[in-house]
Amino acid sequence: MSESTANASGENRAGETPVADELETVEDGDVTVTEGGTELERTIGLVGGLAIGVGTMIGAGIFVFPGIAAGQAGPAAAGSYAIGMVIALLVALPASELATAMPKSGGGYYFVSRSLGALAGTVVGVSLWLSLVFASSFYLVGFGSYAAEVLARVGITLSFSPTVALGLVFGALLTGLSFTGTENTAKLQNYVVAILLVILSLFLAYGGASALGFIGESSTPETFMPFGAMPVVTTAALVFTSYLGFAQVATVAGEIKNPGRNLPLAMVGSVLIVGVFYVCTVFVATSAFGSAKLASFGETAMVEVAGSFWGPAGAIAILVAGLLATVSSANASIMSSSRAVFALSKDALAPKKASAINLKYGTPHVALTMAGVPTLLLVASGETEILAEVASILSLVMYGLICVSLLAMRRDEPEWYDPDFRVPAYPVVAGLGALSSFGLIAFMQRTSQIVGVVVMLAAAGWYYYYARDVSLKGAL
């Protein structure tokens, strides 16, 4: 049963009321501000917010998918990434408006629970928590794979495969770092993303000059859409996984300084930055080898492209970039996953202990444990590809419901709803965002669709078992 307290009328009413006017704001990083009603501190600025969004998204999109996408859509795979960027923006805009009206920890969970009720909120909150756990484990196994490849290329051989072992070690280190303070985690994210973007910018600058014929050998042009238009759309569904990070900025909204300004800039800005990187990367890669040969390299295609530019040093550089990308993605996902649990607990939809704050570091240590431990267990399995796609499906459901939530909020406009940012032409933008998010799920694998449905049904079962009597403060 819920641990929230029933009031005099017998109603079990819990959670935070989303009254934006109660929140204090700051103009720079020298002042510590406390989120109204909680002990979480607002320590993340605009750069930190962009680093969370960019750092989460730029991993798989550049280091795993280009070869696979080129094999399905040819050079037009760049168009698939562009389609994905447009859909992500259609969701990022409604999410930005809702985030400035409700800058609370939990992001998408908080928006949906206040707009569509506790049942929908529980399903989205549990799905968000687990989707980020699955995604974190996928990134850490990817990190282990890149690290093993680095060791092999520098001539270090081990008697065992280090992939899982390295993923476990770094997963434990990142979880431990998150315990010591959000500010430390954000600083690590800033440094990692800055180094990563420098390496990728050099790679794209050289590759772009080569593709345009200014340096190196000229390549033979190939047909832009060799397989027609439909593969471009289906490939967009595949690579949309690359854009699943922008909403994680909203999950730490309770720790963002000056949320009215920084939240929209961080979410929309991170989608635009990584979208441009993705499109340019596919253009450079397909120009270097041609789509058929690029596809034959599979998930390590970018290593081969860098090697063709700069030899072994280039291959090592892009491997290091891959390590940084997977570390930053895992780091941001572990932190965001814990905030989903924290938000559920604050609303009495999960045990109260899960929202306990460590008095020394000011971090939700129980929620971090609930994010870190299952992540490490999944890393130990070493088989997380299918879970990564499940994470995408659960995220797409949340994205679609975020757009529906905006329509519900604009329709009823409660007294406390006063966002600093409003979506222009909101019915069209939110409607297209919902349709495109739900529509992409149809292009996923059947096994992933079934697992996603089972997770959501289990979350609904938890609601009816534990929290069916909870009425959330501030809900429509």
69 DSSP assignment: H
Query: How far is it, in rounded angstroms, from Cα 365 to Cα 90?
Result: 34
Instruction: Please state, in angstroms and rounded to a whole number, the distance separating the CA atoms of residues 260 and 443.
Output: 36
Sign of CA dihedral 106, 112, 116, 119: negative
The amino acid present at 224, given as its one-letter code, is F
Domains of the chain listed by start with CATH number: 43-467 (1.20.1740.10)
Q: What's the rounded Cα separation, in Å, for the pair 469 and 365?
A: 27
Position 384 scores a pLDDT of 59
**pLDDT for res 296:** 86
Coil, strand or helix: which one is 329?
A: helix
Q: Element (H or E) spanning 447, and its range?
A: helix 446-462
pLDDT score recorded for residue 251? 74
Using alpha carbons, list the distances in angstroms from residue 77 to 73, 144, 236, 271, 318: 5, 27, 8, 18, 21
- Write b or e for each residue in 413-448: b if 16 or more Cβ atoms lie within 10 A of its Cβ, otherwise e: ebeebebbbebeebeebbbbbbebbbebbeebeeeb
Which tokens sit at 171? 């997963």
Q: How many CB atoms lie within 10 A of CB 202?
A: 15
- Quote the CA–CA distance of 436 and 433 in Å, as a whole number: 5
pTM (predicted TM-score):
0.79
pLDDT by 10-residue block (mean), the chain, 476 residues: 44 54 40 45 80 78 80 91 92 92 82 92 91 85 82 80 87 88 71 84 89 72 84 82 79 79 91 93 88 81 86 86 82 85 90 88 89 91 68 87 95 89 92 93 83 92 92 78
Cα→Cα distances 192→72, 172, 319, 326, Å? 31, 18, 14, 10
Q: Coil, strand, or helix at residue 13?
A: strand
